[in-house]
Structure 1
Amino acid sequence: MAEWVERVDEHDRVLGVVERGEAVERRWLHRVATVVCRDPGGRFLVHRRPDDSPRFPGAYNWLLGGAVGVGETYEEAAGRELAEELGTSAPVELRFTFLCDGAVSPYWLAVHEALITGTPSPDVGEIAWWGWVEEASLPELMTTWPFVPDAVEAFARYRALGG
């Protein structure tokens, strides 16, 4: 099934609608929305992708997310992805966007934050393992565990902006 996204320019302005696979293959800019999940104690949710995942199998990430659909805002996509992947809903707050070169393809990445107060019920097709990690531990984990490269870049930007 085709996943349709908006192709955008270097200023994040919509140029047209394309199939996401084509956008990736041709390295056309499109939009991706992510969510940083924190618990009431300030810890970050870290998860491992399934071993059969088509992209970055078995890799760890501190972001949940995916492509922004046609006509969808970054915030709407972030909330949808939170519900789909983590099985929970919470208000999402945009922290920043940036033009990410991407390990697979370039894209505009929007990083949101959400406070998770209940117990997540992750989609096992998206999340093989998850746990809460103290912020001070995350940089070391990113050098010892196989993390999705784009997530490492996003974390550096998050910390530079005062997380």
Structure 2
Amino acid sequence: MGELVERVDEQDRVLAVVARREAVRRGWPHRIAVTVCRDRQGRILVHRRAEHVDRFPGHYEVAPGGAVVPGESYEEAASRELAEELGVRMPVRFIVKFLNRTGISPHWLAVHEAVLSGPLRPDPDEVMWHGWLSETELRGSMRENVFTPDTRDVLSHYFSSVERGTF
């Protein structure tokens, strides 16, 4: 059956447990949790997805994350994804949640934040490159590289919610 997710409605209420592949194929909203990672200098972690991943291979992104599994909270999913993708185990801070219609299907997208201080151990099956960029460097990188479709929405909601303006 593949990865299971909770199919949700326009108010993020659970309707059913379904295969993620089916939710994407049918355009059913489901839940995704991501984390914007910063370092102590305020730089943002940017990474490039591995070339063989199913969704957006080789694209850059600013928020590692993934699907929320049935019964899991957004925060639990965000922490789990940090551990899986970057080898970092730590709590995350919820920032904002919104219904995102960019990307491959509609999904409720919960954006979290984590301030990382230790070494990263990215999973090479998920991440082929990573680096820390200032907001100015990130803007330049977004003009030069192909980022995942929801990157602008994630950053816009993130910066608006942490009272730093829009991206």
Name the TM-score class by shorter chain: over 0.9
Q: Which secondary structure state, in structure 2, belongs to the residue aligned with residue 104 of structure 1? A: coil
Q: Is the contact made by 1:45 and 1:132 (CA closer than 8 Å) also made in structure 2?
A: yes
Per the alignment, residue 148 of structure 1 pairs with 148
Letter in 1 for 2:4: W
Deviation for aligned residue 1:138 = 1.4
Using structure 1 for the length normalisation, give the TM-score. 0.96
CA distance in 2, matches of 1:114, 1:16: 31
CA distance in 2, matches of 1:89, 1:64: 13
Correspondence list, 1:27-38, <5 A: 27-38=27-38
**Deviation string for 1:40-80 (max 9, x for gaps)?**
11111100011122211111000000000000000000000
Q: Which secondary structure state, in structure 2, belongs to the residue aligned with residue 23 of structure 1? A: helix
Per the alignment, residue 110 of structure 2 pairs with 110
Q: How many residues align?
A: 163
Structure 2: unaligned runs, 5 residues or longer: none
Deviation for aligned residue 1:160 = 2.5
Per the alignment, residue 93 of structure 1 pairs with 93
Per the alignment, residue 74 of structure 1 pairs with 74
Q: Which secondary structure state, in structure 2, belongs to the residue aligned with residue 120 of structure 1? A: coil
Correspondence list, 1:48-87, <5 A: 48-87=48-87
Letter in 2 for 1:156: S
Q: Is the contact made by 1:90 and 1:115 (CA closer than 8 Å) also made in structure 2?
A: no
Q: Is the contact made by 1:35 and 1:65 (CA closer than 8 Å) also made in structure 2?
A: yes
Q: Which secondary structure state, in structure 2, belongs to the residue aligned with residue 84 of structure 1? A: helix
Deviation for aligned residue 1:102 = 2.4
Q: Which secondary structure state, in structure 2, belongs to the residue aligned with residue 37 of structure 1? A: strand
Letter in 2 for 1:100: N
Letter in 2 for 1:85: E
Per the alignment, residue 124 of structure 1 pairs with 124
Q: Which secondary structure state, in structure 2, belongs to the residue aligned with residue 96 of structure 1? A: strand
Q: Is the contact made by 1:34 and 1:65 (CA closer than 8 Å) also made in structure 2?
A: yes
Letter in 2 for 1:118: G
Deviation for aligned residue 1:157 = 2.0
Letter in 2 for 1:134: S
The reply on whether 1:137 has 2:137 as its aligned counterpart is yes
Using structure 2 for the length normalisation, give the TM-score. 0.94
Cα RMSD of the aligned pairs, angstroms, is 1.1
CA distance in 2, matches of 1:145, 1:20: 28
